[in-house]
Amino acid sequence: MATSSLTKSCFVFKPKSGGSSSAALDSSQYFAGLSDDMGIQSAERRSQTFNSTWQTAEKLCTDFQEEMFNTVFHEMIEYLQGSVDIEEDAGIPTATLITGVNMPDHTGVFRSLAERLRAQVTAHVAVLEAASCTTVQATVRAMVRQLTAAGEPLSPDVPVVDEDDEDDCLLDVPDQTSRQRRAPATMPALVAHYEAAQETVASPKKRSPRKRARTAPQRRPLVVVWRDLEAFQPRVLQDLVLICSQYRSRLPISFVFGVSTCASAVHRLLPQHVSARLSLHKFHSQLATHCLAEMIDKVLLSPSMPFRLGGRALRLLLDIFLYHDFSVNNFISAYKFCMLSHFLWSPASALCCEPGQLEERVEELTGAQVAGLRALPSVRAYLDDLEQEERHTLQHDGVFKEWVLHMAPKLHSKHEELLVGLRCLFALTKRLPGALLGKQFREAYNLALLHALPERDEYKRTFQLLNMLSRQELTATLEHALEAVSGSGSALSTLLRTQLDRVRALDDRPTPVSAEESSQQRRLVADTLKQATSRQSLRESLQSMGAARNARLNPYETLRSALLAELDEHLRGLIVQPSKWPFNECVVFDDVSLVRRRLVGAPRSSVQTALADPAKYLQCTCCQLGDAASIRPTMPDLCIVYKLHLECGRLINLFDWMQAFRAVVGASDDDQTIQARFAHCVAELQFLGFIKSTQRKTDHVARLTWGSC
């Protein structure tokens, strides 16, 4: 069946055999389809591992989000629970939830909010979206439908028929004969429904007064959630608020406004006489950056995750987040894609699993896979450093496998070590001026992934600055560091603890300068003063004397430098750049260019590159351009026409353009053909959006782009 038709634009194709279409997509075949001979053996394994790894990550994400929402919504739900008792005159109780500009995350926020409200406050919850509420009528209908649908489970068998005739329902008195139809979606109907519902709720309560029913208020509020308030038509919003405030005496309605900009948006949308009917309370959701920091900490750095992002990939993801959308959901999605790419493209990822499963995996390795592992850059670098004999023994597959089994679990422990070291270092730098490692832990982590941190200036400067801290400051800093690493139970925490003890225990008294020493010094000064022949030399000698005296440290200073040297040494052992670990390719994904191309689309640049320099795509020798602006007659027609159009102003004369085209392509074709070729190219350029027809001059087109590339 063809998919081109003059009249039809949508075509449906059904599988011949009915059964297989309902089968879920099995991605392992695609994993295999992409792999070369070597990778194909591990394709299924990798596909499985991806699924399990992603499930772990997903679970961590949802747990984290649950936790976050709990804290965010806690106060608001309390407020809404108490909203029924608020006096009528006070206006409609309204919780304004400032959600922030990370729009893509809001879906999850409001879904979770609605769930929580249903579970904890009332069964009557309506979530309104601006897209479907363009008129007052539609809004009332959507609101009433959702509020009255409370309690009835939304089954797929909800008759579609009655939704069809909603308009009639609204206009006509409901027909007794049509049983199918529900009550009309109007406010009086809502009142009736609510009162009926209250009675049914009340009656069983009398019979069996359960604990929960007692504590719950007598009347359950009706909560209407306005998602993304700014997107609603102000008119609709105002009318709805006024209508609801009219019914306030009979219906305990309360609102939740989702505001993504700032609280004043409510007052911009609602004039005074409307907002006077509301009693507004403001609640803040968590900042997106804060969410991200938590998310990275809980998910990406979780010890239960075998998969790790490389430095450049992480930086890209952070950049997308910070400079593009502030969306944690998008970040997670991008993370998922990185993970998918890792398992999809890297055969070594077969070893990316929990340490417990490693033995089994290593056993499975075939000769080709072992050879592939041996060829990994990090392994090769490691092997090159080994002794000749040792290297030779590792050529044997069995020995190599054992070695893999020995080395691979270290990847995880090394990552843990790195984290501990970094957390300590970050806690140490946090109070130093200049935020050397960044203000967030993720920056420090990213830095450590990208570079060998101990060799960096930031690291050195950190220790220089630490070496200037007073005793109090140092104690505080060490306490912070200890706090940061205390959970890990590593050697570092014990080290820090002992160091703290030493600092605290240090006898504070300055060692008295002996009289002999001071007299000696005085003599020395007198000598230098005599010797000084010029002001210059005097200054120099005084300076050298001062330096000599400074070099003599008091006990605290000695201790401090000793402690820091110890700490430095320890941290250097811990903070090792992951790309130095052998077999890091198994767990670390860092193909940043691939991810960038997939996540950050650049459709325009791809089109323009293809037009300006088709040889880049065609890989042909005939169209190689020395100069970006030149034209070759061998290039595809569209490129020639495009390049010619670049040289024009706003208006392009079609005839002249065609002559120029003819001049370039030469007289190989007859006139009509050239005209046809040209006409087709012009149509294509129009389709691509480079030109459009114009009425300003006969047979001219208007150019829509500017610049000449």
Partner 1 sequence: MNSAGRRTRKDSGSGDNSSRTMRTRQDSTIKDINGVLSVRFLDDADALEKICCISKTAPKMSRVGELLRNSQHLISHRAETPMSVADPDSESEPESPPAQPNAALTELNSAQLEVEDTVRGTAVFGFQRCHRRSHLRRVAEEFAQKSPVKTSAVDIKLPGTPRRGCSGLPASIGSGRRGGRRPVSRTVDDRNRSRSRSRSPPPARSRSRSKSRSRSRSPPPPQRNGRTPSTPKSAAGRTPQTPRGRASAALPTKTPQTVRRKVKLRLSKLKQEDIAVSDDDDDSDVSPLEDSSEDEYKAPLEEEEDDDEESEEEDEEGEEEEQTSTVPPAAVRGRGGAPRRRPELEPAAVSAEDYFSLHSAGGPTSNHTLSRLSEPRLSGAALRALLDARPTDHAAERAALLTDLEIMFPHWLAAVSHGFNILLHGLGSKRDVLERLRRQHLRERLHMVVSGYHPSVTPRQLLLTLLEEALDVPAPPSKLEAQLEAVERRLAAPGAPALFLLVHSIDGPMMRAEKMQYVLARLAQLPRVHLLASADHINSPLVWDQHKLAQFNFLWFDATTLLPYTEETSYENSLLVRQTADLALSSLRHVFKSLTPNARGIFILLAKNQVERASDKTFDGMPLSELYQRCRDAFLVSSQVALRAQLTEFRDHKLIRTRQSHDGVEQLTVPLEAALISEFLASCEDS
Q: Site residues for partner 1, window 57-116 (CB under 8 A)? A: 103-104, 106
Say which residue the tokens 């406010």 belong to.
Answer: 187
Measured from the Cβ of residue 77, the count of other Cβ atoms closer than 10 Å reads: 20
Binding-site member from 41, 238, 329, 579 for partner 1 (CB under 8 A): 329
| Position among 240, 365, 419, 701 found at the interface with partner 1 (CB under 8 A) | 701
Helical residues (DSSP H) of 134-186, grouped into ranges: 136-148, 160-164, 166-171
If one asks whether residue 608 binds partner 1 (CB under 8 A), the answer comes out as yes
CB 96 within 8 A of CB 266: yes
The 396-425 contact track toward partner 1, x by CB under 8 A, reads: ------------------------------
User: Which of the ranges 294-302, 332-340, 477-485, 544-552 carries the binding residues for partner 1, by CB under 8 A?
Assistant: 332-340
Please state the closest distance from residue 167 (CB atom) to partner 1, in A: 9
Residue 248 φ then ψ, to 5°:
-60, -35
By the rule CB under 8 A, 627 interacts with partner 1: yes
The values of phi and psi at residue 585, to 5°, are -60, -20
Q: Is 436 exposed, middle or buried (0-12, 13-18, 19+ CB in 10 A)?
A: buried
CA distance 372 to 46: 15
By CB under 8 A, tell whether 515 contacts partner 1: no
Instruction: Return the number of the residue (288 or 450) whose C-beta is nearest partner 1.
Output: 288
For residue 48, CA distances in Å to 350, 372, 469, 579, 702 come to: 10, 20, 52, 26, 55
Q: Which is nearer to partner 1, 505 or 667 (CB)?
A: 667
Closest CB to partner 1 among residues 6, 171: 6
Q: What is the smallest separation between the CB atom of 305 and partner 1, expressed in angstroms?
A: 17
| Sign for the pseudo-dihedral over CA of 522, 527, 532, 538 | negative
The span from the CA of 544 to the CA of 682, in Å, is: 81
Binding residue for partner 1 (CB under 8 A) from 257, 321, 441, 661? 661
Specify burial of residue 465 (Cβ count, 10 A radius: 0-12, 13-18, 19+).
Answer: middle
Stretch that binds partner 1, among 277-285, 474-482, 536-544, 700-708 (CB under 8 A): 700-708
Binder to partner 1 among 70, 132, 470, 518 (CB under 8 A)?
A: 132
Residue 452 Ramachandran class (φ > 0 left, ψ -120 to 50 alpha, else beta): beta
Among residues 3, 533, 536, 550, the one that binds partner 1 under rule CB under 8 A: 3
Residue 352 beta carbon to partner 1: minimum distance, rounded to whole angstroms: 16
Binding positions for partner 1, 351-380, rule CB under 8 A: none
Q: CB of residue 296 vs partner 1: minimum separation in angstroms? A: 19
137 is a site residue for partner 1 (CB under 8 A): no
439 versus 692: smaller Cβ distance to partner 1: 692
Binding status of residue 649 toward partner 1 by CB under 8 A: yes
| Selected range binding partner 1 among 15-23, 59-67, 272-280, 500-508, rule: CB under 8 A | 15-23
Burial class from Cβ neighbours inside 10 Å (0-12, 13-18, 19+) for residue 438 reads middle
Integer distance in angstroms from the first to the last C-alpha of the chain? 41
651, 653, 654 from 697: Cα distances, Å: 8, 9, 11
Q: Can residue 611 be called a binding residue for partner 1 (CB under 8 A)?
A: yes
How many CA within 13 A on the CB side of residue 71? 9
Among 271, 495, 654, 695, the residue binding partner 1 under the rule CB under 8 A is 654
Footprint (CB under 8 A) of partner 1, residues 668-697: 669, 671-673, 675-680, 682-684, 686-690, 693, 697
Closest CA to 118 of 240, 223, 192: 223
Instruction: Using the rule CB under 8 A, give the single segment among 6-14, 216-224, 286-294, 433-441 that binds partner 1.
Output: 6-14
Structure tokens at 481: 């560091």
Per DSSP, 259 falls in state E
Cβ neighbours of residue 167 under 8 Å, at least 6 residues apart? none
Assess 135 for contact with partner 1 (CB under 8 A): no
By C-beta, is 20 or 536 nearer to partner 1?
20
Q: Is position 194 an interface residue for partner 1 (rule: CB under 8 A)?
A: no
Burial of 413 (0-12, 13-18, 19+ CB in 10 A): exposed
Q: In the range 427-466, which residues lie near partner 1 by CB under 8 A?
A: none
Cβ-based nearer residue to partner 1, 250 or 336: 336
14 vs 212, beta carbon nearer partner 1: 14
Exactly one of 287, 513, 524, 663 binds partner 1 (CB under 8 A); that residue is 663
Q: Which is nearer to partner 1, 6 or 515 (CB)?
A: 6
Alpha-carbon distance values, 61 to 58, 106, 379, 587 (Å): 5, 16, 33, 20
Residues 140-179 close enough to bind partner 1 by CB under 8 A: 156, 158, 160-161, 163-164, 166
Separation of alpha carbons 448 and 458, rounded Å: 11
By CB under 8 A, what part of segment 20-49 binds partner 1?
A: 20-22, 24-27, 29-34
